[in-house]
Structure 1
Amino acid sequence: MAQRRKFSEEFKREAVGLTRLPGASVSQIAQDLGIGSNLLFRWRRELDVHGKRSFVGVGVARDQEILALKRQLARVTKERDFLRDAAAFFAKESS
């Protein structure tokens, strides 16, 4: 069974933006992007109806991913500093 592909909000908005260019064919743009033309039409319709609130909750937003990575980096940095200090402490004790 094929796994369902997920597209970011940014990708969807850019794809819909391409369809609005003069002389643009939705089916050709969909083929170039490797998606179905029905899907591209659906994204376009959703953007027209909901505006800025469309595509909410699909995929991982870039800002959320960056925030999660920053939290993880802070945690790992604290762990590294703790282990470095512990190693220095035990090195002094054994001398």
Structure 2
Amino acid sequence: MNRIPKASYTPEFRAEAVKLAHEVGSSEAARRLSISIKTLGNWQRSDKAGDLAKIGSTQRPKTEAESELSRVKRELAEVKMERDQLKKFAAYFARQSR
């Protein structure tokens, strides 16, 4: 199975995610935002150390074409995963109907 390509997050998103995690808890915030609990934990540790704004500063900004390509790749990976699940469901229900 293919993995979903790595996402890049804005500094504003990271700050809001940490704020939400303080309000409702880390696992609930990660679930609501559809991000990994480990990623959110890393952001929280960086926030405590005062280094949250430095995360991602070493990455060069993406061009419009690069961001569009990464969005399309991410969408394609999601569609492939959904397709594979539907194939499994169809095979399961075909066996049940016999």
Q: Which residue of 1 aligns with 2:49?
A: 49
- Indicate how the Cα distance of structure 1 residues 52 and 34 shifts in structure 2: closer, same or farther if over 3 A, else same: closer
Q: Aligned pair count?
A: 60
Q: Which residue of 2 aligns with 1:20?
A: 22
Q: Which residue of 2 aligns with 1:4?
A: 6
Using the TM superposition, give the Cα deviation of residue 20 of structure 1 relative to its aligned residue in structure 2, in angstroms: 1.6
Q: Which residue of 2 aligns with 1:30?
A: 30
Structure 2: where are the runs of 5+ without partners?
A: 62-98
Using the TM superposition, give the Cα deviation of residue 11 of structure 1 relative to its aligned residue in structure 2, in angstroms: 0.1
Given that residues 17 and 40 in structure 2 are in contact (C-alpha distance below 8 angstroms), is that contact kept between their aligned partners in structure 1?
A: yes
The CA deviation string for residues 37-69 of structure 1, in whole angstroms up to 9 with x for no partner, is: 111010010111134643234575xxxxxxxxx
- Equivalent position amino acid for 2:15 in 1: R
Secondary structure of the 2:50 match is helix
- Equivalent position amino acid for 1:37 in 2: I
Moved over 2 A (4+): 50-60
Given that residues 19 and 25 in structure 1 are in contact (C-alpha distance below 8 angstroms), is that contact kept between their aligned partners in structure 2?
A: yes
- Equivalent position amino acid for 1:47 in 2: D
Coordinate RMSD, CA, aligned? 2.6
- Indicate how the Cα distance of structure 1 residues 3 and 29 shifts in structure 2: closer, same or farther if over 3 A, else same: same
Q: Which has the larger radius of gyration?
A: 1
Q: Percent same amino acid among aligned pairs? A: 22
